[in-house]
Amino acid sequence: MATYDPRMPELTPALKAAWDTATVILDHEQQVGHWIVKAWWMLNPHEAAMSSGPTHVVIDIAPDAPSDVRRRGVTSGVMRDVERVIGDMTRTLHESPQTANAAEQARNELTGRAQKMPPGPRGNSAAYYRALSDLYEWWKDTGAPAPANDVAEALGISKATLWTQLRAARSYGLGREEEH
């Protein structure tokens, strides 16, 4: 877990705001040639998946960098190297137990919310469709890569049934238009 120091110049207001609300902050630092790459991944409560890449990246020149590197600054070659390193960092962090634990907690919350839904559309259809639409939109907004599959599984229905029910929810004026 990263340690936040408000005096750190690389923390923009957006990064500080994200840092203050995130529950899991994964950070990684690596030197690439004469450059130090710092990357942060922030996973907020109830997010299903960490972003595919870092939410913030800072590239600093190494203290021992020669003057010609300092004069050139960050070049396209440096950016290609940084892209490769960030890809490696992302793969490593996606495999970490900390990330897996946060994703598991989010899935448990999905299951819990699904269990609290009305039993089906036959009783109070408006309440069911509202709850279904809210559940699906919430899960989709967490960044889950396949929200329809996950919600259908949590509800114990097929994906086709889920789509049919979401269309019915839209006919009630609930939910957002969606392509599948």
Token pair 């899935």 in the structure block, residue? 107
- Token output for 137: 């939109």
Query: CB of 165 within 8 A of CB of 121?
Result: yes
Statement to judge: residues 123 and 67 lie in one domain: no
| 179 occurs within a structural domain | no
Query: CB of 21 within 8 A of CB of 44?
Result: yes
pLDDT tens for the chain, 180 residues long, are 445 454 455 556 666 666 666 655 667 888 989 999 988 777 665 555 556 678 788 899 999 999 999 999 999 999 999 999 988 888 887 777 766 777 777 888 899 999 999 988 887 888 899 999 999 998 888 777 788 999 999 999 999 999 999 998 888 776 665 544
Helices (H) and strands (E) in the chain, counts: 7, 3
Greatest CA separation for the chain: 74
Residues of the domain holding 137: 117-171
Statement to judge: residues 21 and 95 lie in one domain: yes
Angstrom distance (rounded) from CA 50 to CA 145: 10
Statement to judge: residues 94 and 121 lie in one domain: no
Structural domain total, the chain:
2
Task: Please report the pLDDT score of residue 2 as a whole number.
Answer: 47
| 29 occurs within a structural domain | yes
